[in-house]
Structure 1
Amino acid sequence: MIGSPWAALSPCTAACVTGEPPRSRAARALTARRYAAFVSTLAGAAAAGGRLQEGEELRRRARALLADLGVSLLGGTDGLAVPEPVTGVGTLVVANHISWLDALALLAVQPATLLAKREVARWPLVGPLVRRAGTRFIDRTGLRGLPETVRELGALLRSGETVIVFPEGTTWCSAPGGVFRRATFQAALDAGAPVRPVTLTYASQGVPSTLPAYVGEGTFTASFRRVAAARGLSVLVTAHPALRPEGHDRRSLAALAQEAVSGGRQGVAVPAPRRPSPTTARPGHHPAAGRPPHLPVRAP
């Protein structure tokens, strides 16, 4: 249903994806090794059971899966959640959407509850992982479940959880992409939660690349094969100053977040921390922690 706030359309097609990886015998051998490593890590994640929803376990598995595929995670040293020692609310992380790799990159930086379209649950390989990680799934083509989704997200934020959403509603081949849908920003307003805009950018051999993009009529399997065969692939996670919800409605908050993600505000690159944080008791929960000096929370 085109009129739904979740029924986003992207003009990007398979023609947008450039930089096909080599098809030599050595390349095929490398791809096979990466497949095997990825499946092995997934098997370990399945064996972890409920522990996968624990912060550091989820972060570790996501980082391992990126490494299995030869994808480097680039940036600084801190997570994306904004410590709220007084109110204890969580953070709504909003990012542009390019690839199925986006979720792994963000979870490798910040253990969180992920909001994803219901089709993701049926994807091969990745689908079972995100289900076990506690992902909330939505129907982006209908309005009926939207109010309940917003209420659920608000409750998660009030409980101290970090929630990751992709407000563009669909994938684009690069950043900036589409218009941010406003519905999920209502959850931040209802909970009084800060919003952390994040920009994801991909490169191959240090050059901006659309190779990881999952767009058009291509299948997940084809996209996965392309990523697994790539050389020198990297993802840069850039966190922008958090936005306070006070004084905003969801329209203005979404507009400010989109401005930040599309390059209107200076950001700080943020990768996965190098060692576990002893304060992370559950995904996105940060008991009384000091605010990172280089990731300020400032009023818009």
Structure 2
Amino acid sequence: MCLQLHDAAGRLHTAELQLPAGFPVSAPAVTVHLPKPFKLKWLPGHTLLQLKQQLQQALDSYQALWAQLEDIDRHTQLLDPPQALAHPYASCSRCIALGNGASCQLQLSAAAPRSMPAVVFYGPSSTVARLQAAWYSGAAQQWDEQQSVRENLQEVLQVQLPAPKPGSKRGCAAAASAAGASGIEQAEAAAGSEADDASDDDYDMAGDGACCICYSLHLPDPAHPDQIGAAPSVTCPGASCSRVFHAMCLAEWLGALPTSRRVFDTLFGSCPFCNGPIGVSTRPAAH
């Protein structure tokens, strides 16, 4: 069975419940997509009312985080593959375009979402070096938690973050647009919006031959900063996909998925875009 709840900002959330044979003596199993696992406290005499109250409290605790993510999703160009944002309210991470072929991966704190996020920059070596210098030299001094994460990023990095393409709705913005539907209809509407935005046109940030995870052609090599880094070397075998990836980027992506499997020095899993089978060697490249 499903339980639907609105949080304080009107966002619609769905929890899936499985009632055991011993219910209500035995606790129900609850599946809900939140930044942290939901831990149900079940005591003798509890009913679904107590479960709903605990879920509502959990939703209320993430309001500040979701406000920051919604601001990012509505005002920046998201580069996350569709699967990464299948449940946008469960993720604290976003990959956004910075312009000039550069991008960054943000990891917000669920407990303190306005604080400085963890950031990894991708793109041409010279651009990444400039962004890293600006970030590590000025972020701690300039960061103002009275402003949004997006506003702070623009000030610290001295960039104007590219806006979403007209009509594009992804992440929390897509979920919010589907809030008028219910149950399966809501999930299908959000998934459909993600799929529409995942067209080839929306991924032209990668450019010809660039990695479709980090959106750069050459992967910076900290051990050899004076050399051109590795180019994408893995191609999705799907005929309708054929996207290319750096071996390191794909290995990190697949390594983070519980559905991937390792056979000796090779990781096997699903393509970040078409969800078809793909594999990558994890053997260190020879220099």
TM-score tier by shorter-chain length is under 0.3
By relative contact order (CA 8 Å, sep 6+), the higher-ranking structure is: 1
Which structure has the highest helix share of the two?
1
User: TM-score, normalized by length of structure 1?
Assistant: 0.24
